[in-house]
Amino acid sequence: MQKSNFKKDEVLVKIRNLHKYFYTGKRTIYALRGVDLDIYEKDFVVIFGPSGCGKSTLLNLILGIDKPTKGRVEIKGVNIFKLSEDERATFRAQRIGTIYQMSYWVKSLTALENVALPLVIKGIKSYFALRRAEDIMEKMGIGDLKNQIPTQLSGGEQQKVGLARAIVVNPLIIIADEPTGNLDSKAGREVMKILEYLNKEEERTIILVTHNEEYWDYGKRRVEMKDGKIIKEENHGYRISA
Amino acid sequence: MDIAFLLKFIFKNLAAHRLRTLLTIFAMMIGIATIVFLISFAFGLEKLVTREITGGRAFELIDVGPTGSRLVKLDKKNVEKISKISNVKAVEPLINAGARIKRLGDKEIPEGIDASFVGITSRGMDWAGLTVSSGQLLSQTSYGEATNLDAKIIINDKLANIAEYGETKGKGLIGKKIKLEVIIPQEISKEEKNVVYENKEFEVIGLVNSGSSPIIYTNLNNFEEFGIRSFSQAKVETVLKNQIPIVRKQIENLGFSTQYIGEIVDQVRQVFNFFKAILGGFGLIAIIIASLGMFNILTISLLERIKEVALLKIIGMKRKDIRKIFFSEAIMMGMGGGVLGIALGIGVSKIVNQIFNSYALEAGGEPVVIFLYPFWFLLLVFIFAVLIGVITGLYPAIRASRIDALNVLRYE
C-alpha cells in the first residue's frame, strides 16, 4: 500500500478496522471485513470495485445511516457511533452533503425549495435558506431550473440540482454514490466536472463511489475494493486525463 | 425547523394530492356536521320544552300549595310564618279563582266565557314575567296592604281573541268595562263551598301576552270582598338559590306541599341528555367512519412518500421534525373538517328550521327556533375534530419517524 501525499493536511475521516456483516436467514454476508482508511481535508477519493465489494456499505457507515458490526468511524475526531440517531442526523445535516445515483426529491416542492431544504433542516430561516439556495443554483448555471418540479427534470439536470442541494450547507464532506450511474456519458462528464471544480476551486472534500472506469482518473486518490477489503490505494494528485 | 417553511411544506403536500385531501376533509366535514346538526337539535328542543314549562324567574322560586288538609290552610297567618323562615327573602301569595265573562266592552255574551281569575301582587307579576303588550300593568300593591279596591283587571290576548277582539280590536278593550261572575272555589272560600258572585264589573287596563287559555289578572286585594279564607298558593324566594332545598323542607314541615320547577326541569334535562347521547352516538358513527378513512389516507400517503422520508433523514432531518410534518398534516385535515363541518351543520339546520317554520306558519303556528348552538358546544366539537386529527395522525407520524432510510435506499 502506498503512503498518502496528504499527511500535512488534517485527517477528516478516520476509519479503523471497520466490519459490517449482514445476516439474512442462515447466510451471513461479510460486506466489510476490516477497512482502514484516512480521508484528509481537500481530498478527492474515488472508491471503486465490482458490485458487492462493499463500497456503498462503507459510504453508508461514513454517513452514519447504518451501524457497523465492529470498528469505528471518526469525523473530525468525533466517533459518530457514540452519538444517538438524532445527533447523527444533526451531524449529517451540518457537515455532510450527499448525492446518489438516483436523486430523491420532495415531490411537492420546487427544485429551489428542495435545494434549500438541508438549510432549513439545519435551522436557518426559510427566507435566507431560499436566497442561499438561489445563489448556489445560479453559480452552478442551473438558475433557470429553480421553479421546476425536480421529478420533471432530465437525469443530468436532476443530478446537478442534487449537487446543489449537497453543497448548500457548505459541508465538510461531499459523499457521492454513483452520481453518474443513470446518466449518459455527456451528462456524466458534466457532473464529474462540477465535482472536480468543487474540489479544486472550493477545496471541498469529496468521497466518490463509482464502478464506471471512465471516472477512475478523476480525483486525487483511488481506492480499490474487493470482497469487503481495500486491496489497493493510489495517489495521483490531480487527474491525468480528461 | 422554521415554522413558515414547515407550514409551506405541509400545505404543498396537501395541495399535491388535492382530490385526496379534499375527500378526506369532506368525509370529516360530514361527520362533524352530523354531530352539530343532531345535537343542536336536541339543544333547541330542550330549550323549547323548558321554556314552555317555565316563565319569568321560575328557576329561583318555590311553589307552595296546601296539602288538602282542612286544618292547615295557606292563610295570612301561615304566609307570615313562611316569610319568617330563615333565608326566605320574600313570599307572594296567589289566588286562583274562576270567572265567567258575561259582557266584554259593549258585547253581551249570554253563554259566557270561562276564564281563570287570578289574584296577584306586583312582585308576583314580576316573578311570573308578565308584561303588557298594550295598556298598563296593575297598580303597585303587595298583599295585606290597605288599599281601596280598584276593580281593575288585565286580560290575556287569548281571552281577547276568543271574545272576537283581534289584536287591534283587543287594544280597543282597554278602558272598557267587563262584567263577570266570580267563582270562588271551596278550598279558599270562607263558606267551604263554591261561591258565585254575580254581576261584578271591572275595568280592563291592560293586555298581556301569556298563557294558552283565557286568564284575567287582578290585584290580590280585590279578592277581599269575596270572602276569602286562604290563598290558593304562594311563591317563595330564597336569599340564595342553593338554599332552596332546605327552605322547601322547612315549608313542608309546616304542613304544605312544595314544588320546585328546577327539579322538573332537571328531570327534563336528564331525558334530553340521554337524547343527546343517542344522537351524538349516531354522529359518532359517522365520525368514526370518517376517521378510519383519514387514517387510511394518511397511511397510504406515508407509504407513497417513504422515499421522501428517507431523503429527509439522510439530509439530516430529526425524527421529531418528521413526526411533526405528518402530525401537522393530520391535524390540519382535522381542523379543516372541523371548521367546515360546523359551518355545514349550522347551515343545514338553519335551512331545516326555515322549512319547518314555513310549514308551521301555514298551519297557523308561530315560528320557533328548534336548533341551538351554545358556543361551548361548538368549541368542544372543534377541539374534538382536532383531537381526531391527533389520534389518526399519531401512528403514521411515529411510523414515518421510524423509517429506516438505509432499507429504503438499499431496496430501491
Tens digits of residue pLDDT in A170-210: 888 999 988 888 788 888 888 888 888 888 888 889 999 88
Question: Testing the interface with A: which of B1, B12, B314 to mutate, by most A Cβ within 10 A?
Answer: B314
* Chain A residues with CB-CB distance to B406 below 8 A: 60, 65-66
Q: Distance between CA atoms of B406 and A57, rounded to whole angstroms?
A: 10
Q: Are A227 and A33 in contact (CB under 8 A)?
A: yes
The answer, yes or no, to whether residue A35 has pLDDT greater than 50, is: yes
Residue with the larger pLDDT of the pair B175 and B391: B391
CA of A215 vs chain B CAs: smallest distance (Å): 23
* Chain B residues with CB-CB distance to A117 below 8 A: 312, 315
Q: Are B344 and B33 in contact (CB under 8 A)?
A: yes
CA of B404 vs chain A CAs: smallest distance (Å): 8
CB count within 10 Å of CB A176 equals 25
Q: Distance between CA atoms of A198 and A188, rounded to whole angstroms?
A: 16
Question: Are A66 and B9 a contacting pair at CB < 8 A?
Answer: no
CB-count exposure of residue A21 (10 Å: 0-12, 13-18, 19+): middle
Nearest Cα to B312, choosing from B408, B410, B394? Answer: B408
Please report which confidence band the pLDDT of residue B147 belongs to, taking 50, 70 and 90 as the band edges: low
Tens digits of residue pLDDT in B1-14: 678 888 888 888 88
CA of A127 vs chain B CAs: smallest distance (Å): 9
CA of B315 vs chain A CAs: smallest distance (Å): 5
Q: For B95, how many CA atoms within 13 A lie in the half-sphere containing its CB?
A: 32
Residue with the larger pLDDT of the pair A240 and B116: B116
Determine contact: B7 vs chain A, CB below 8 A.
no
Question: Testing the interface with B: which of A58, A63, A65, A125 to mutate, by most B Cβ within 10 A?
Answer: A65
pTM above 0.90, yes or no: no
CB count within 10 Å of CB B117 equals 28
Nearest Cα to A129, choosing from A119, A138, A137? Answer: A119
Q: Are B54 and B267 in contact (CB under 8 A)?
A: no
Q: Considering only the beta carbons, identify the residue of B315, B320, B412 that sits closest to A117.
A: B315
The answer, yes or no, to whether residue A57 has pLDDT greater than 50, is: yes
Question: Are A125 and B4 a contacting pair at CB < 8 A?
Answer: yes
Q: Grid coordinates standing for A156?
A: 443530468
Q: Distance between CA atoms of B217 and B198, rounded to whole angstroms?
A: 18
The residue type of A222 is R
Q: Distance between CA atoms of B318 and A120, rounded to whole angstroms?
A: 12
Q: Which residue has the cell 290552610?
A: B73
Determine contact: B315 vs chain A, CB below 8 A.
yes
Please report which confidence band the pLDDT of residue B375 belongs to, taking 50, 70 and 90 as the band edges: very high
Tens digits of residue pLDDT in B233-266: 898 988 888 888 889 888 888 888 888 887 887 8
How is residue B189 annotated by DSSP? B
Q: Grid coordinates standing for B280?
A: 351524538
Q: According to the model, what pLDDT value does residue A3 have?
A: 44
The answer, yes or no, to whether residue B411 has pLDDT greater than 80, is: no
Question: Are A65 and B405 a contacting pair at CB < 8 A?
Answer: yes
Task: Tell me the residue length of chain B.
Answer: 412
Rounded to the nearest 10 degrees, how much is the dihedral formed by the CA atoms of B257, B262, B264, B269? -170
The answer, yes or no, to whether residue B53 has pLDDT greater than 70, is: no
Question: Are A90 and B318 a contacting pair at CB < 8 A?
Answer: yes
Tens digits of residue pLDDT in B149-198: 788 899 888 888 777 665 556 677 888 888 989 999 888 888 878 888 88
Partners of B118 in the β-ladder:
B96, B217
Question: Are A126 and B4 a contacting pair at CB < 8 A?
Answer: yes
Q: According to the model, what pLDDT value does residue B48 have?
A: 82
Determine contact: B9 vs chain A, CB below 8 A.
yes
Q: According to the model, what pLDDT value does residue A240 have?
A: 40
Distances in Å between the alpha carbon of B8 and those of A90, B4, B5, B12? 22, 6, 5, 6
Highest mean pLDDT (candidates A34-48, A96-110, B136-150): A34-48
Q: State the average pLDDT over residues B294-313.
A: 88
Q: Grid coordinates standing for A128?
A: 435566507
Rounded to the nearest 10 degrees, how much is the dihedral formed by the CA atoms of B62, B67, B69, B70? 50
- Kind and range of the H or E element at A210? strand A205-210
Q: Which residue has the cell 361527520?
A: B31
Averaged pLDDT score across all residues of chain A: 85
